[in-house]
Each structure stands twice: as structure tokens, then as C-alpha cells.
Amino acid sequence: MKPALENYHARMLRVLDHIDRHLGDDLDLETVSRIAAFSKFHFHRQFTATFGLSVHRYVQLARMKRASHRLASNDAQSVTDIAMDAGYDAPDAFARAFRQRFGQSPSLFRKSPDWGAWLAAFGPLDNARNKLMRITFSNDDVTIRDVSPTPVAIIEHRGDRKTIGDTRQRLMDWRNAAGLPPEISPTFMVFRSERNPANPAEYRMDLCVATDRPIEANDMQVKAGVIPGGRRAVLRYPGNTTNLEPAALYLYRDWLPASGEEAGEFPIYCQRRLSLIPESPAHEVVLELFLPLK
């Protein structure tokens, strides 16, 4: 990457870090553009072009994410105080915005969070940060584990990746009806084709939810299955993303030839789960990519 572009990206990332550390402060366009050392007359267009979100939208999502963390982990703080900290003048306005985003009132989310809707709601925020993250891997990032077979509920996606949202929604609807939230039942994605095959119709992926419950006949095409056990090369991805291609390329192109290992018969797959970060009351996503070995 050219030095000028590296400098540009560093300034933009400095803005995100400032926003994340100062969510309770005034984050108007003039303040934020000054952090990046960009003209305020152009900065909002530069930010939107870089991250796919306006500054206002990014701040809104970041404050709502913090509010959801506090609701789920801090019973002592009132909904009114959380609403004010999130930038809302009244709790009813906060409640409307919260319900629109998560499908739950703040009070219901505090009692029984729908983490599936939570993950979907913050996809744009995760994507914004991932746009400039230049993630590199080394052999030290890969561990070899012996894993046990995992019974799962499976929904098969076959066809253009553009339609995968419909498949994912059917699985979410099924898991919600089955009472299997992501904090107790991790999600697996089994990649059975290239991410971008020459013919988009040949894209194939299985979406799975860990469960050993019997799967009754249903209209959502969810069926029972098993992710087999065995030896796995495991690479943890530092963040939430829908594009694990860089991590998969590293395992196949760099780690595998140097390791002396051989890939097994089962496809590469990913486990996505919610985790409580130590010393922080925030649920975050942990992604691990599994390469089966012989």
C-alpha cells in the first residue's frame, strides 16, 4: 500500500477509535473531522465513501450497541439513564428506536435478549470497521485441536450468494421458535464451494445451529445433521465479518504447505459464537475457522 493511502487509512481509523472512546461526548461533524485533520466541508462524504455509513449513522449504531450491552449486563442502571447516555432526550424515543432495531423493547431485551437479532442489527457497524482492518496471520495464530462430533440443525443454501439472506432468515426464524439463542447454541457455516464461483448459481454453503434435540418436520427445510469430529487446524478471526476468505487463503496457501499436514475430506467451516469478554460486560462475536486434517 502506498504511504499516502496508509496515512489516509490511519487518519480514518483514528476517527473510529476516537468515536468509540468518546460516545458520551459531543461528536458533531466539526469535532470528528478535526480528529482526522480533514476539512469539515468534505469529511462527511469521505467518511461515508470509506465506511459505507455516515458519521451520524455510525455514532448512532455505536451508542445503541453500548446501550444494549448495558441493558444486558447492568440491572442497576435504569433504562432512562441508558437512554440519555445513548443520546436520546426521552426514554420513549429510545424505546421506539430500540424496538425498531431489535424487535424487542429495552425492558424485554434486559430480561431475555434476542442475540440473533442483535447480531444482525450491528452488521453494518462491523462491516464499517472491517473495511480498513488489514488483518495478517502467522503460524502462531493456528492451533491444532481434536474436536468431538457436533450434532446440528442444518439448512442448506444452494445458489447465488445474493439470496443467502433469505436462507439465513429462515434459520433464524427456526432457531427462535426452537428456543436456541446464539449464546447457548453456536452457529456453524460449512463452505462447500468457492466464495465466488465462476457460475454464481453453483455457490453452496450449509448454515447450522448446534443442538442435539430432535428436529421435527418443518416448512423451513431445516434438518438434523452432524459436523464430524477429528483433528482440526483452527484459526481465530479477530473480529466479526462475513468474509473469511483471507483467513481461508492463509490456511491453504501458507500454513498447510509449511505444516507438513494434509487436508481431510470434510470442507472447511466456521464457528460463530457469542462470548463475554473478560473484564467487560459486552457480548462480542468470536469467529474460528476450522480446517479438517487427516
In the chain, what are the domains?
Answer: 3-130 (1.10.10.60), 139-292 (3.20.80.10)
User: What's the number of CA atoms in the CB half-sphere (13 Å) around residue 271?
Assistant: 20
Q: Cell 478535526 maps to which residue?
A: 34
Contact at 8 Å (CB) between 234 and 290? yes
Closest CA to 62 of 84, 43, 87, 40: 87
Q: Is the pTM of this model over 0.75?
A: no
DSSP-derived 3-state class of residue 144? strand
Stronger pLDDT, 152 or 36, i.e. the higher one: 152
Supply the pLDDT for residue 279: 36
Supply the pLDDT for residue 158: 95
For 123, the grid coordinates are 452488521
Chain segment 79-118, per-residue pLDDT in tens: 999 999 888 988 899 999 999 988 899 999 888 887 777 8
